[in-house]
Chain A
Amino acid sequence: MQRDIGKPLFDLFLLIASAAAFVAATALPEIEIVGDLSPAFFPKLLSGLIFLFAIPCLIKDFREWWMVRSVASPTPQVVKVRSVAQWLFVVLLLVGYMLAFERLGYIISTASFTFCCVLGLVILSGVWGEQTMAQRGKSVLGALVFAAVLAVAVFYVFNNLFEIPLPA
């Protein structure tokens, strides 16, 4: 079993988030309609239940983590750092894509997103470092062509053929 501090941390996050949600739910206005439960009833009930159920999960996951801790982790750290870097890179790229989506228009934002995504993965995964100059040129060119073709083709097919309007 892999040692993962994230597991109990995520339980802790749920615990805190549900508590916050419960507090926010108590601030909802009370409105009386004959027979009806108040609008705050369900949010309070649900966040309360999440809080209650998260406690045993936290305890269990924390104990597991604690026990595995004593056993040395066999996973090489280098791989992990690289994976997390790839993950974070894609998430940040998605945020950028989202922000650029309507501002820059579909074709430009999509082409840059695709280009960065493909090339970024080549670089972060370590392939870039092993490549010769010529191969690198090929990677960049390949990503460029792929990005341009994908963005233009998708835009044409959806915007013009299917008439699903995309930001210009």
Chain B
Amino acid sequence: MISGYLDGLGMVLQLGTLLAIAGGTLLGIIMGSLPGLTSAMAIALLLPVTFGMPPVAGVGMLLGALCGAGASGSIPAILLNIPGTPSSVATTFDGYPMAKKGEAGRALGLAIVASFFGGVASMIILSLLAPPIAEFALRFGPAEYFSLSIFGLVIIASVAGKSLLKGLIAGLIGFFASTIGTDPITGVGRFTFNELSLLTGINLLPALIGLFAVSQVLKDTLEYDPHERVKESTHRIDIARPRFLETLRHWKAVVTGVLSGSVVGPVPGAGGSIASLVAYDQTRRFSKSPDKFGTGYAPGIISVESANNALLGGALIPTLALGIPGEAATAVLLGGLMIQGITPGPLLFDDQGGMVYGIFLAYLVANFFMLLIMCLGIKLFIRVLTVPRKQLLATILVFCFIGVYGVDGDVFNLYLMLGFGVLGYFLNRYDFGTAPVILGLILGPIAESNLRRGLQSFQGDWTPFFTRPISVTFLVIAIGLLALTLWQNYRAGKQVSASQGSGV
């Protein structure tokens, strides 16, 4: 193994390879910071470029894009309350409030360092434990996926905001929206209205951009008032620097993030989108001061961002160890590996010389480049906030259009985006929240299709959902967490009614 790493090191430590990784990382950072443009897009664009390169350089470039995009999603989430990918939704919960307090630089500094720690930790986990974790992921059948999605849906209670009932309604709206399209089991069209674009259902991306970016811009336009521009909250640029010590002080949040990313991230299909939400949920639940979450509290940012880059390592586990990509980005990456003649699977970990170690090291190097580029750019990112409001609003909308149109090239997605934008605006305004909608959209299809797939393959028998060990574990935890939330809510409700009137 040591000699393998030495061979791998030899492949990585070449000028061409290092430049390729740096270039990939830079492109990933740019793409990831624009709402809607995803790491999958960045990797696909780089794919033809990597053909002529030696394998480790080519794969390193693609991994750089993956890593860069994973980290830079936090930039718009923190500065503008706009998550560019589902996995940075949770970054907005504490990142944006902190930025609103004028500490955007601190939030970014925490996010960058947490991303870096998450990425490096997940690389270590990937290199040591990939095969056993991949085997664990294989034990997920319909029953386990169903229970996992129920476990995930309980998170709605955590992100619901003021009213649990309204948060639940928002989640159900998202879930209902996810049933639009061709039925996954029978193939019947549901609510498709003969629209070709709806045959495969509502795309997550336009919904996400609409619910978060467009709704936020609409809120800002409503509140737009050039007369009160001289507010006190001048953004301090001098505090914008990477925050190693502060991040380390919240090491528990880092560990929670890394664990969530590495355990939930490898589950194909579900993991990537919810790992960071799981991390946020767990960190908050086991925190001594859960009230501080949502107000710009450092551990909230740290756990989410470390989960965010740890889940990339997590997602690479089934991709490399089994050849099973979990979502779009790793699917493109898999294509890139295969074109290079690298066949992922258990054999990759056994032979092919230093190849697999070269890939690990390239991923590690990508994390360092990510840290470097983000640290150099941090003061630049903050300048976004000094752009005059009206120009900024117009520019955000222009980029939303590019993100939504650029990925699938379908104008229908723009209609969806605007529809979800208006819906999201009202949901936020009337305390329903938009994060539960996204959770419903992501987890709804997993819950529905796996319940029905399970019933189909168990021939109508419900018991396996409650007897298979992993499945029942998730269900028990889900019910426990739900009960805990209800109890906490009940107690908090009592306290509020005791001191009625303090209000919003």
Contacts and interface: CB of A to CB of B under 8 A. Distances in A.
- Direct touch of chains A and B (CB < 8 A): yes
Interface string B455-496: 111111100000000000000000000000000000000000
B458 A87 contact: no
B452 A36 contact: yes
B191 interface: yes
A39 B192 CA distance: 13
Interface residues of A, number: 62
A56 interface: yes
A94 B224 contact: no
Interface stretch (B18-26, B114-122, B125-133, B162-170): B162-170
Contact of A33 (B169, B398, B451, B456): B456
B397 A86 contact: no
Contacts of B166: 57
Interface stretch (B173-181, B250-258, B264-272, B282-290): B173-181
A83 B218 CA distance: 10
Interface in A135-158: 146, 150-151, 154, 158
A28 B398 contact: no
Contacts of B222: 83-84, 86-87
Interface in A21-37: 21, 24, 28-29, 31, 33-37
A166 B406 contact: yes
Contact of A31 (B163, B186, B226, B394): B186
A167 B451 CA distance: 42
Interface in A115-132: 117-118, 121-122, 125-127
Contact of A35 (B393, B405, B455): B455
Contacts of B226: 122, 125, 127
Interface in A52-96: 53-54, 56-57, 61, 83-84, 86-87, 89-91, 94-95
Interface centre among A36, A154, A166 (most CB of B within 10 A): A36
A76 B184 CA distance: 52
The main secondary structure of chain B at its interface with chain A is helix
B426 interface: yes
A46 interface: yes
Contacts of A86: 221-222, 224
Contacts of A105: none
A46 B179 contact: yes
A10 B224 CA distance: 23
B53 interface: no
Contacts of A113: 394, 397-398
Nearest to A84: B222
Contact of B390 (A24, A47, A117, A166): A117
A141 B61 CA distance: 43
- For chain B, which range describes its interface: under 10, 10 to 19, 20 to 34, or 35 or more residues? 35 or more
A33 B185 contact: yes
A165 B408 CA distance: 10
A contact face: mostly helix, strand, loop, or mixed: helix
Contacts of B402: 154, 158, 164, 166
A64 to B, nearest CB: 11
Interface in B427-462: 429-430, 448, 451-452, 455-461
Contacts of A164: 37, 41, 45, 402, 406
Interface stretch (B91-99, B332-340, B348-356, B410-418): B410-418
Interface string A1-15: 100001100110010
A47 B191 CA distance: 13
Interface in B71-96: none
Given A10-B430, A34-B456, A83-B223, 13 more contacts: A10-B426, A11-B430, A36-B456, A37-B455, A42-B448, A43-B190, A53-B169, A53-B172, A83-B222, A87-B218, A101-B405, A117-B393, A125-B225
The 4 closest A-B pairs by CB, nearest first: A35-B460, A39-B183, A117-B394, A164-B406
25 contacts: A35-B455, A36-B186, A39-B186, A43-B179, A47-B176, A50-B176, A57-B165, A57-B166, A61-B430, A83-B223, A87-B222, A90-B217, A90-B221, A91-B418, A94-B418, A94-B421, A95-B418, A113-B397, A113-B398, A117-B393, A118-B391, A121-B224, A122-B226, A127-B227, A163-B45
Interface of B: 31, 37, 41, 45, 163, 165-166, 168-169, 172-173, 175-176, 179, 183, 185-186, 188, 190-191, 214, 217-218, 221-227, 390-391, 393-395, 397-399, 401-402, 405-406, 409, 411, 414-415, 418, 421-422, 426, 429-430, 448, 451-452, 455-461, 503-504
